[in-house]
Each structure stands twice: as structure tokens, then as C-alpha cells.
Amino acid sequence: MMALDVLAVGAHPDDVELAAGGTLCLLSEKGYAVGVLDLTRGELGSRGTVASRKEEAQRAAAILGLTVREQLGLPDGGIRSSEASQERLVQALRRLRPRVVLTHPKRCRHPDHAEAAALVLRACFFSGLRKIDTDQEPWRPQHVVHFEEVFSFTPTIIVDVSRTWQKRTQALQAYASQFHNPAYTSNEPETFVSNRGFFEWIEARARTHGHAIGADYGEAFQYHAPIGTEDLMQVLSREKPFR
């Protein structure tokens, strides 16, 4: 049983690096215990193999400084918010005990991602119910936050990842079978994310988010509910001044 500060849950290996790699690296550098849970092994991917993608995921984890990275083993293309899948994720949450969970947005291009978002929200809630018996102590994460993917949203949080952008890029390029990497040659088909233009678009969007907060690069997130406080000044004291 662990006690993670942050757990990023993605449908496939590489999902969390693509959306939140800079933030995870930044948190790790600040001394937080950060983990990643891949719900599937990515076995339906058009490029790479289960074995190669697992190796790539471990290389990326080392670059980001993760405390732990695991695969839950749900079927790729078959993620559902079912009772069986929910129980397996509840068991992982109770074992890893994260305070904060990052996961997919509710509206996604990939069907597995939208299903993962629903599954994570359900599991985070039910993990805190004592009468759901898994021979573990109940545990409910304090916060659930959605990262941005292909479909843009209005962020409630933008994290300045300028300092970790280079490592974020290196972590993505560790997935040589999936993303554009000039050093990687393959006869496999080009996909939505493997071409150079997609990689350039990721950087352009990060620069756009960064510009909004006066930084070089930013990663966007949505809190799953309104953020409440009884001390407005305390919240604002952490923000950059109005420009």
C-alpha cells in the first residue's frame, strides 16, 4: 500500500504524457510522489507491440521521475464503466491512495478515453464507500482533475510547464513507435498522432496556453467541480498578477 500525492490515469500507455507530461515531471521535481496507471496495454494500437509499448512507457516514466507506473490490464477498445472494471480500479486506488487523480476529459476523440473518464469518476467515488468490500481500507481521492486532449476546453487551471518542457518532449519521444521521432524508422502505417504535424500542434497549443498565463508553455486542466474557498485572498495569492 502506497500513499501517492498524484495519480494520472490514462486509457493507454502514452496518454498521460501527451496531455500532462510536463505537469507530472514538475510535480516529481518538487518532491511529490507521482504515479501513472495505464488502464490497458494498448494492444489495439496500429503501431508498436504490447511489449515495445511497455518498454517505452517505462523509459518515459524514468524521464518524468515517476514513483510508480502500472498497467491495470483492461481490454484496449473495451473500457467500460462496468462493475468488474470499477472493482479493479477501486482496488488500485485503495492500494495507491492518491490525494489527486488526473484523467481524461469527458469529451474525447477516442471512445476509450471518454469511457475511462466515466470509469475513473465512478471508481474514485465508490472507492470511499466502506461497504464496498475489497479487503482494503476505503480511500477516496480528494480531487479529480481532467487534462485537455484533442478537443479543446476552457481550462480552470493552466500549469506553467516551461521548466519541464524539454523533459516532457523527451518523454513523448520515448514512445518512438507512436509519435514523431526523427531517429525512428518504421514501415508501420502513419496514424493520427505519429506525424510531425501533430507534434508541432501539441507544442503550438502549449505555447498558446502558456501565453495566457505569461509563460512559455502551459498545460490545461479542468477541475471536475467548482472550486470552493472561504478565503479568496489565499487563492489569489498563488496566482500571477493581472497583466
Q: To the nearest whole percent, how much of the chain has pLDDT over 70?
A: 95
Q: Which long-range contacts (CB under 8 A, 24 or more apart) does 108-114 make?
A: 108/149, 108/150, 108/151, 109/149, 109/150, 109/151, 110/11, 111/77, 112/11, 112/12, 112/39, 112/40, 112/76, 112/77, 112/79, 113/11, 113/15, 113/149
pLDDT for res 110: 83
Residue 137 scores a pLDDT above 90: yes
Task: Report all structural domains of the chain as residue ranges with CATH numbers, in order of start.
Answer: 6-236 (3.40.50.10320)
Residue 177 scores a pLDDT above 70: yes
Q: What is this structure's pTM?
A: 0.91
Over residues 74-116, the pLDDT tens digits come to 998 889 888 999 999 999 999 999 999 999 999 888 889 999 9
Residue 146 scores a pLDDT above 70: yes
Query: Around 213, how many Cα atoms within 13 Å sit in the side-chain half-sphere?
Result: 21
pLDDT-based confidence at 243, cuts 50/70/90? low
Residue 189 scores a pLDDT above 80: no
pLDDT for res 242: 61
